[in-house]
Amino acid sequence: MTVKVLLFASYADTLGTNQLALDFSSGATVGDVLGRVRSMPGADALPPEPLVAVNERYARRDQVLSSGDEVAIIPPVAGG
Amino acid sequence: MRSAIVDLPIDTAALAAEVSRATNGATLLFIGTVRDVNDGRSVTGIEYSAYRSMAEREMADIVREAREKFATTDIVVEHRLGELAIGDASVAIAVAHPRRGAAYDASRYVIEQLKKRVPIWKLEHYVDGTREWVNANGQHVAEPAR
């Protein structure tokens, strides 16, 4: 299954892109996505436990994903 | 009750007017503005960006929570994105309530939750031409690679 990964702000700069499409076998979790992204070139600058949202909702590491899910890796927010 | 992410200047007076009603004895307007110094460095402006669809959803959730906690539907919040100059309003929160105590509490709740949960980021521009992302504590986090 394919998962869409969104990157923002400093994380997008770190990885040189703001969007990835990654393939996983069924049963993959948020933690699996983070592990894959962190293994990419330059991504070791990402913190070990970044905030993550699945389909626009904050999510835990153990959340199981479905094909087409949108996983956003969220830098420390700084609105206001 | 309304929340929005906007790209144009926020009409703060219009927000206050939007929540003001005869039953409300207190109307509060909070305006967050871009200041000229952060973390000891001279700032010339800030570029705000967001995970827009999620930011809209989180802001709507926060306003809904404030309505339930403080018993007023008279809450409006707007957050602006894009290039802002010193003194520009980045966020405005208008709250009205029959009583001032609840109005202050609701306004405070909305801004504190917004700063914790809404996925918005700021890239500060400095007098020397450099730019850096700012984290939640107002500190610089990384040099953008561009």
Whether residue A14 lies inside any domain: the answer is: yes
* Lowest mean per-residue pLDDT among A36-45, A65-74, B41-50, B64-73: A36-45
Would B130 be classed as within a structural domain?
no
- Residue of chain B nearest A46, judged by CA positions: B142
Instruction: Tell me if A79 is assigned to some domain.
Output: no
Q: How many domains does chain B have?
A: 1
Q: Answer yes or no: is A62 within a domain.
A: yes
**CA-based nearest distance A23→chain B, Å:** 23
- Number of A to B CB contacts under 8 A, please give it: 82
As for the ipTM of the complex, it is 0.94
- Number of H helices and E strands in chain B, helices first, is 3, 10
A80 is a domain residue: no
**Token pair 């020397």 is at which residue?**
B128
CATH number at residue B110: 3.90.1170.40
Q: Is the pTM of this model over 0.95?
A: no
Q: Which of B78, B74, B79 is nearest to B102 (CA)?
A: B74
Of B62, B1, B81, nearest in space to A78 by CA: B81
Q: What are phi and psi of B19, to 5 degrees?
A: -100, -15
What CATH number did the domain enclosing A50 receive?
Answer: 3.10.20.30
Alpha helices in chain A (DSSP H): 9-15, 30-38
Residue pLDDT, tens place only, B20-54: 999 999 999 999 999 999 988 999 999 999 999 99
Total domain count, chain A? 1
Residue B57 is which amino acid?
R
- Residue B69's domain comprises 2-35+51-120
- Residue whose C-alpha is closest to residue A33's, from A25, B87, A41: A25
Chain segment B47-106, per-residue pLDDT in tens: 999 999 999 999 999 999 999 999 999 999 999 999 999 999 999 999 999 999 999 999
Domain range spanning residue A51?
2-74
